[in-house]
Structure 1
């Protein structure tokens, strides 16, 4: 990922927070047939290995897991993002020398990918993934709520994904390269937007308190 110095995010807690908040990731591997990508939810077990281990699963009918990967896999996680109009820049009034851009948060995680089919490992992975996304609900659904034979049959239709992370790349592009007056204008413009995604980005713009 191209990361200018102003936008580099090397803070491991920030990176982990982006991964935790991402509802969907993209798993990308290079193969002899070309690059292959699958959208899927992943969770990071921070207690395993030096950088943590990513877990998820794909459908057994998905050919992705049958194509031998060349080199490390790439897992892509997206965070808050918003379009930035030049109209919000104070510089527009001063010189007119401005163009649109996009602000966003992204994390790339790299590591060797393992695909597994052992029932007990699959059950553990889907249970932990389910608990992560159900935990905040008033009445969380649990894997154990379904009949055991039904769950066993469902597990036969998936393949687990395990990626021990060897390297993270974090990027937080939030107008850090703009003058303070421009950043204030961007934060104000995003805050006033009707789009909830824009309003989520607004407080991430670095401006003086």
Structure 2
């Protein structure tokens, strides 16, 4: 990820919040295989366990997820461990990456640049977005007969379900909201069968970076044009984008005083 200084988010705490608010991340691996693609990616909802937001601490936290055993990426990871003679719950020898993209994000038309476009026309389209990128070591739980794998998967599917039910759906059972769905609502035998069809992935976060690209590089006049342009869309997405552009612009302006 290109982290231009004006866009880079240097607060690990802020990047952790981005991940927690946008838990669907793209896991990318590059694993030599005779049967699968070398580079593979999968969308996975993750649970973040925070250890420290100190940039000097070597391990910042852990990401916990799972994927279908039949996923080609899962097969490549299992084959890689087997080829190295490593058992289940062992770390991959290859580094992995997880990319999180925040909502909202949006195309920015040159028509929004109300200061530069009329004066020089030296403007081009772009896209405003925020993202966090994690690198680390992945431990793979794939032995369905192992107690360790079973316990990991039980905790994982419980935690990710509760995260999504409460934080995303708002099902807390409080103030008139619905109760959250719980793993225990399904038959135990059914859950046991489902667990056999997935593998667990636990990533130790060794490096994290990210950015908020929200028109900070533009002049104040153009930023005001972008804010007005997004607000003029008359949509929730437009209003959210306008708020982010304003917030990030004010942060940049404060550093220049």
| Common topology (TM > 0.5) | yes
Aligned pair partner of 1:129 in 141, 148, 160? 160
CA distance in 1 between partners of 2:23 and 2:62 (Å)? 17
Q: SS of the residue aligned with 1:64? A: helix
RMSD value, Cα: 1.8
Question: How many residue pairs are counted as aligned between the two chains?
Answer: 209
Structure 2: gaps (5+ residues): 53-57, 81-91, 143-148, 172-177
Structure 1 residue 186: deviation in Å?
A: 0.6
Aligned residue runs from structure 1 range 18-33, under 5 A: 18-32=18-32, 33=37
**SS of equivalent to 2:203:** strand
Q: Are 2:108 and 1:84 equivalent residues in the alignment?
A: yes
Q: What's the offset of the Cα at 1:97?
A: 1.1
Tell me the equivalent position of 1:116. 141
Q: State the partner residue of 1:97.
A: 122
Secondary structure at 1:6 match in 2: coil
SS state of the match for residue 133, structure 1? helix
- Aligned-residue offset at 1:195: 4.3
Report the Cα offset of residue 198 of structure 1: 3.0
Matched with 1:139 is 179
Secondary structure of the corresponding residue to residue 113 of structure 1: strand
Give the one of 30, 41, 45 matched to 1:41. Answer: 45
Rg larger in 1 or in 2? Answer: 2
Name which of 236, 254, 257 aligns with 1:196. 236
Q: Are the equivalent residues in 1 in contact too, given 2:96–2:138 (CA < 8 A)?
A: yes
* Structure 1 gaps, min length 5: none
Partner Cα separation in structure 1 for residue 16 and residue 216 of structure 2: 21
CA distance in 2: counterparts of 1:10 and 1:159, whole angstroms: 33
Post-superposition offset of 1:71: 2.7
Question: How far has the Cα of 1:34 moved from its partner?
Answer: 1.6
Contact 1:104 1:173 (C-alpha < 8 Å) held by counterparts? yes
Report the alpha carbon displacement of residue 66 of structure 1 after superposing the two structures with TM.
2.9
Give, in whole Å, the separation in 2 of the partners of 1:162 and 1:62. Answer: 17
